[in-house]
Amino acid sequence: MALLETKDVIKRFGGLTAVNKMNFTLEKGQIASIIGPNGAGKTTFFNTLTGIYKPEEGSIEFNGHSLVGLRPDQVAERGIARTFQNIRLFGSMTVIENILVGMHTQLKQRGTDILFRTKTFHEEEAEAEARAKELMDYVGLKNVGNELARNLPYGGQRRIEIARALAANPTLILLDEPTAGMNPNETEEAIKLFRRIRDERGVTVLLIEHDMRVVMNISERISVMDYGEKIAEGTPAQIRSNQRVIEAYLGREAAAQA
Amino acid sequence: MKQFFSNLYAAINKEPWSYIVTFGLMIIGSALVYATPRSLTAFLILLLSPASMYFLKMNNKVKLFAGLVLAIIVLPVLGIRNIFYLEVIFQICVFAALALGLNIVVGMAGLLDLGYVAFYAVGAYTWAFFGSKQISLLHSVPGAAPANAPYFLENPNWFWLFIFLGIGLAAFAGILLGLPVLRLRGDYLAIVTLGFGEVIRVLALNLDKPINITNGPQGITPIQRPTLPPALLDALGRVLEPIVGHPVTEAQFYNVFFYFLALAIIIIAVIVARRLDDSRIGRAWTAIREDETAAIAMGIPLVKMKLAAFASGAAFAGAMGVIYAANRTFVSPETFSFLQSIGVLSMVILGGLGSIPGVIIGAAVVVFLNIQVLQTFSLYLSSLRQSDAVIPIINFAWRNLSTQLDPAKYQKLIFGLILVVMMIFRPSGLIPAERRKRELAGEEEIDEITE
């Protein structure tokens, strides 16, 4: 059974159909990408998956349970973590606190534990802090635990976002243009990191990405969207030679000339 | 100027100077206040000592000891000598508790609440209603109450239970306010909370008919106070009389009692606020303040967390409301006006949004400014006006000074100016909020990467 399966998902904004009859399946343990020109509806599709938008029609099943109608926090609790296209960190919190916020659904401390500083509280906090520390190391953040997140350079902020998403122990992680604005070295590192997330942690990875080097390099399966619809799907090799994809990216005439 | 102060601070911020300065301020301040109970300068010097305790580097145990001596012995004794000081400090405590509560809602969770005194009113009216004769007067017209009506609760010590009831009811009111405004952010939220604050005040103003619950604009009085053990008062009175120089009345003991009560609430409020802040809940609040969309995507339930913020913020105000009603033995809707909400909010902003020591200092500064500095200055000016003094060079007789120039009349103006200047030069408050630095194994201390 597929980990994530959407059937005929439609999302409209007024007269505009941003996502149209999207059928999408994702197997557990895959690294998959969604690509497409600007405005193709990729991010809208992500937002529909995570409950920020409610689809007008269609079904979304994750691990055999429907996600339609759930709030974003409930979706997160089911094991889907995400990052954002334009980094959304909690800027005036420290790096380690950002990661601890990501653990929100994992922590079990209750109001009474917090007010009376029970043993449960201290143990859980210490454990959470250790895990956060471990995640910082994992994504390659060093000596910045106590820095405010907004003070870190761009690449560092991207790493925090990924660590924060991993902190929730997700089954599936959605990365929205994770390498946007990175230089080739940073991109190389990022690709390695995504592979490790899947290989070492067993987390299924779904990317939205514009950088074709990244997409072709890492994806086991690529879905192409244009005008809200899925126009192609397949392995990198299949996508590279797909006529409709080339047209979508270059325009019909340019594609004919090419 | 700035350089001079930072040099001065560096110079006294090491042993033994920090001890000498702190204890010096404490001893000289106490002696001055004792000798000249009406002097503003003396009181100011004394009030500087807790500030130096906070800012200067000293052994924590010494700090705690000095603080306890100041709070438990020095202030009450000096307060009995000049009861006005006790009133100032009581008000500082009341507003500090309100500011701490509002700080949870505005500072930590980032929900701008312009109707915060509504919760204070809920607490105050809870005890005012049950702790007075109001229940026997439900069917009488305001102002025409029979003088011999009985108190509803014969034993005024129900007060203690009502502190908790006040907390509960205020928290409940917080949730009631929270529910309809959950989808609102920023400006919209501010307007709705403003409306809510006014609704509570107008309810208090008008619920004197058809049945007389709040006694309308005249307010409820008398409200009972808990009893103090007479044996203890006797003993304390005998000890204190020679020290303060006059027999101590029961009213003065009540002032001391309420001072201690307010102090206890502050201490509890600080502990609660700090523990909440440094926990899963506090982190969720800050995350919501920073970025709601990201927070909810991390699995933080917005509804639950916002309600929790409103409820716990309101709870502080509820407790203080009950104490306030008993202290004044009188409540009326006027106390809970919109301006009060703004006052508490400005304490929070002046002190430092989200900063616990900051909002306490903010409350102290605002209260002190309002009820002491400007007042004293007015008195001084009016005494000049009655004298024959003349300003030398311009040859202006103080007698001719218009009464319109009375500083007490310009309280809000001066206060507004201070806020403007503060926001320009110190926008994050007197003591800006700081995130806790954790000791992380394997991390080296590095100095600020930026800056």
Rounded to whole angstroms, the Cα distance separating B268 from B264 reads: 6
Percent of chain A's residues with pLDDT above 70: 99
**Which tokens in the block code for residue B201?**
């005040």
The one-letter amino acid code at B415 reads F
Rounded to a whole number of angstroms, the distance from the CA of A71 to the nearest CA of chain B is 8
Quick one: closest CA in A to B287, which residue?
Answer: A90
Decide if B279 touches A, using CB distance below 8 A: yes
Decide if A146 touches B, using CB distance below 8 A: yes
Q: Would you give the end-to-end CA distance of chain B in angstroms?
A: 22
**Which tokens in the block code for residue B258?**
């309420």
Rounded to a whole number of angstroms, the distance from the CA of B113 to the nearest CA of chain A is 21
Low-confidence ranges of chain B (pLDDT < 50): 447-451
Pairwise CB contact (< 8 Å): B299 & A52: no
Pairwise CB contact (< 8 Å): A102 & B291: no
Decide if B420 touches A, using CB distance below 8 A: no
With beta carbons less than 8 A apart as the criterion, state whether B77 and B243 touch.
yes
* Chain A environment of B171 (Cβ under 8 Å): none
Closest by CA to B306, choosing from B179, B221, B159, is B179
**Partners of A226 in the beta sheet?**
A229
What's the confidence (pLDDT) of residue B449?
Answer: 44
* Strand boundaries in A1-79, DSSP class E: 4-13, 16-26, 31-35, 57-62, 65-66
**DSSP of B158-226:** GHHHHHHHHHHHHHHHHHHHHHHHTT--HHHHHHHHHHHHHHHHHHHHHTTSSS-SS-GGG-B-----P
Decide if B444 touches A, using CB distance below 8 A: yes
Pairwise CB contact (< 8 Å): B279 & A93: no
pLDDT of residue A75 exceeding 80, the answer is yes
Neighbours of B294 (CB within 10 A): 24
The 8 Å CB, 24+ separation contacts for A223-227 are: A223/A24, A223/A32, A223/A33, A223/A34, A223/A35, A224/A34, A224/A35, A224/A36, A224/A248, A225/A22, A225/A34, A225/A35, A225/A36, A225/A40, A225/A41, A225/A42, A225/A45, A226/A36, A226/A37, A226/A40, A227/A20, A227/A40, A227/A41
**Partners of A80 in the beta sheet?**
A172
- What ipTM, to 2 d.p.? 0.93
CA A150 to chain centre: 21
pLDDT of residue A67 exceeding 80, the answer is yes
Closest by CA to B415, choosing from B378, B365, B376, is B365
Q: Would you give the end-to-end CA distance of chain A in angstroms?
A: 40
Closest by CA to A80, choosing from A89, A70, A90, is A70
Most confident of A117-131, A241-255, B43-57: A117-131
Pairwise CB contact (< 8 Å): B438 & A145: yes
Rounded to a whole number of angstroms, the distance from the CA of A94 to the nearest CA of chain B is 7
Pairwise CB contact (< 8 Å): B440 & A121: no
Neighbours of B129 (CB within 10 A): 20
By Cβ distance, the residue of B281, B290, B296 closest to A114 is: B281
* Chain A environment of B428 (Cβ under 8 Å): none
pLDDT of residue A258 exceeding 70, the answer is no
Rounded to a whole number of angstroms, the distance from the CA of A130 to the nearest CA of chain B is 8
The percent helix, strand, coil of chain A (3-state, each to 5) is 45, 25, 35
The pTM for the full model equals: 0.90
By Cβ distance, the residue of B291, B299, B450 closest to A151 is: B450
pLDDT in tens, B100-155: 999 999 999 999 999 999 999 999 999 999 999 888 888 887 777 777 788 888 88
Q: pLDDT-derived band of residue A151, with 50, 70 and 90 as boundaries?
A: very high
What's the confidence (pLDDT) of residue B450?
Answer: 43
Decide if B442 touches A, using CB distance below 8 A: yes
Gyration radius of chain A's alpha carbons:
19
Side by side, the strands of the sheet bearing A16-26 are A16-26, A4-13, A57-62, A65-66
Rounded to whole angstroms, the Cα distance separating B417 from B423 reads: 10
**Which tokens in the block code for residue B377?**
């200055």
pLDDT of residue A13 exceeding 50, the answer is yes
